[in-house]
Structure 1
Amino acid sequence: MLDDTHDPARRSFVASANGHADFPIQNLPLGVFAPPGGARRAGVAIGDRILDLPAVAPLLGGGAAEAVAATRDCRLNGFFALGAAARQALRAELSALLAEDSPAAAELGPVLHRAADCTLHLPSRIGDYTDFYAGIQHATNVGALFRPDQPLMPNYKHVPIGYHGRASSIVPSGTALRRPNGQRKPAAEATPSFGPSRNLDFELELGIWIGPGNALGTPIPIAEAADHIAGYCLLNDWSARDIQGWEYQPLGPFLAKNFCSTISPWVITPEALAPFRVAQPARPEGDPRPMDYLWDDHDQAEGALALELEVWLTLPGEAPHRLSTSDARGLYWTPAQLVAHHACGGCNLQPGDLFGTGTISTEAGYGSLLEITAGGRKPVTLPSGATRRFLEDGDTITLRARAHRAGFATIGFGDCTGTILAAP
């Protein structure tokens, strides 16, 4: 639904918001932050500032006031649970309060904190985390490395593939991570050994925040699945490829994934992304039509997101280098299909649960070093002359996402950054 909050001509009295690459007034993402010397609280990113939500509560009414009240525990779980009506009410009032002609501009000045001075936290308590495998180009590329005769397993085009991950090790952007230890057994070695991962990799994904949940035993119909999505973020599902290669049969990833996943801290709402919804790419001729519980005409018509994605690698003492670009339209399943499938057996989703889409690659750009370097056999050479098969200690990976469409203001997700430290 498009309304005045999407007007590209709308400007803010917060000067840095006007033309901001990520956080113009047309975005208004939510998160949890702490100002210098202060306690955590909910906030909204606007330009290079963060608006303190509890501080503006007296200026809000109706559903917007209810939305802010739901963040009183300094987490967004309660806000997520309220659903679309509360998000829309809060967005409308914040857009008016932050507009260039706002009568509250002087009053809001003291509660607009410099983002650079604040600490950003996870936006919610993450009860459960599920990682899907919905990037078909990535699945094909990786499958071809290990199964050239059958890159995709027979079930891939019929059922959204996923696994339950570890929620406790999800961290906000800017948090350093330690290279994991684990068992490794390359084909050239006769027996497994234990030690630091030699093949540490990133994975470019979108995160999907769950809003209102469902009762245990009650599936979510595909036509209603989008109503259960509270927002989106970027997600780097760091992967220890050598540990994974030894441990994943027969049950899949374990230690290779559970040591850390990094997310961008701002929740980009479905309302902010409304102008950038597009048709789900048509399936190639011969691919099976999704089963009825996964098919909705409206979702197929505008259930995908047009987002340009980037991966940047920074080596110690060097300038950032863009490793890859990708596009969110590389996902084989829509976010709503992932929600409907997850709940089809009666699993009870809860506000603040997080999904990962799986690595997003396209023919034009890859979402992992495993693909970029062909499994490590073709190292990438950086402008400095340094090479990488996989990530080394001290390397920093930054993910970015931006939405562009003619006639609308560009919005972004903010950085999703992590630096690798030596194994413990």
Structure 2
Amino acid sequence: MEGTEEYFAKEMFPGMDFAEEEKSLLKEEMNGMLKNMDKEELKHFFSKEEFDENYKLIELNKYPFEKALMLLKHVGYNNAKKLRDHHCLTDISLKKRFIRMIVEEGKKKDGNDERLLVDLCECYLFYRARYVLINDEILLTCVKCLLKVALNKEENKEARKEVEIALLALGDVRYFDMSEELYLNEIKEIVQYNQDHHNLTHLAYQSAWQFLFNRFFGDKMLEIVIVNELHFITEATRELEKLTRSVDWQIKDDDKRGKETEDVNTLRRWLHTLEICFEFHRMQNEELVELVCSIIQIFRAAKGYYGYICDLCYNSMIKAVKNKAVKIDCLLKGGTVDLFSEEMNQSTLKDAVIWDCSDFFMNISERQRKKTDGHTEEEERKATKMEVFEKMEEEGYEDIITSFLEIFYFLNNKYFSDFLSFNIFDYFVNA
């Protein structure tokens, strides 16, 4: 079929931008499977209705299931990589076929088609509804199967790509309890081997951490493993710094400015993971200063180009101070107080920024007013409190807050998840 890769990109993904290297990848990987498909088959493959129609053709053996499976896998991988929404298997007839085949292949003691099982598991995880419970048997089969793929330490390009796809599929398995025996030793080996040999892509490494983070809500022992054994804070800081250096923030071409690249998307995924981390876990470690510095550096670099990256930086810092995940002096040394002060001084603030900044400083003030039990800790609190207050006084913070009082009612009604205080003294650490 002439021009397959261009047709595939334009017809199957209307409105989606493909870089030249992605087109080359599409040509290399998909031409072999697409050459026997006519335009009508291509055009109608991915709507919900056509999913069901194609399922009927597959069941009648008029359409090759293997071809459909590879198309689904390729599209699911690209959507997950770029954080795009897609149809869920809960909405389409193929769900039953996928589940039946995964169960059948998983039960085979010998002679199962490992390649088929891997493709089925990846497709199932890419297309399932994220908040719908997974059958325990299906989850067990998928996790075991894809961890085996992710443990492959071969250095060739094909193996690295398969590892990335497997980890990306696993990284999307959220909110499900599973025994640590099912995954912990394997995922620790994957993370630690990469720390020594750097064999994973940035996306694969982030996905491995994402899979691990999705497991440890309320699990203090796993939290200790992540922080102390796997050195999450140091690793996250290093990855953020690498990605920050690799992104062309000051791109001059207006058509390319703000466009999502693989590095930008991976950076976005890391920031989302950190946002979850700061919201639910307290990791008060001095190494956090460097991590905070990296987040602030990303915000400054992304401002004016990637608004959603800036929002993630904002949110992670607000949750860090609210949840007491980071000590106030770490926020101070990392430049967070400076950043929020600068933002409040901008003459063209959006109301969301005003609300975020006010919320941040109100939580700073609330934490600084609470006395600690230990004598040494109390002295440190008072010293930090004075340092923060001097910084706020230097920036004219009192005048800024006073000027915003009249719109607090509006902000509270618009951003109703939390409420800003109308009492101006709640915003000052010396109160």
TM range, normalised to the smaller chain?
A: under 0.3
Question: TM-score, normalised on structure 1?
Answer: 0.24
Q: Which has the higher contact order (CA 8 A, sep 6+)?
A: 1
Structure with the larger strand share: 1
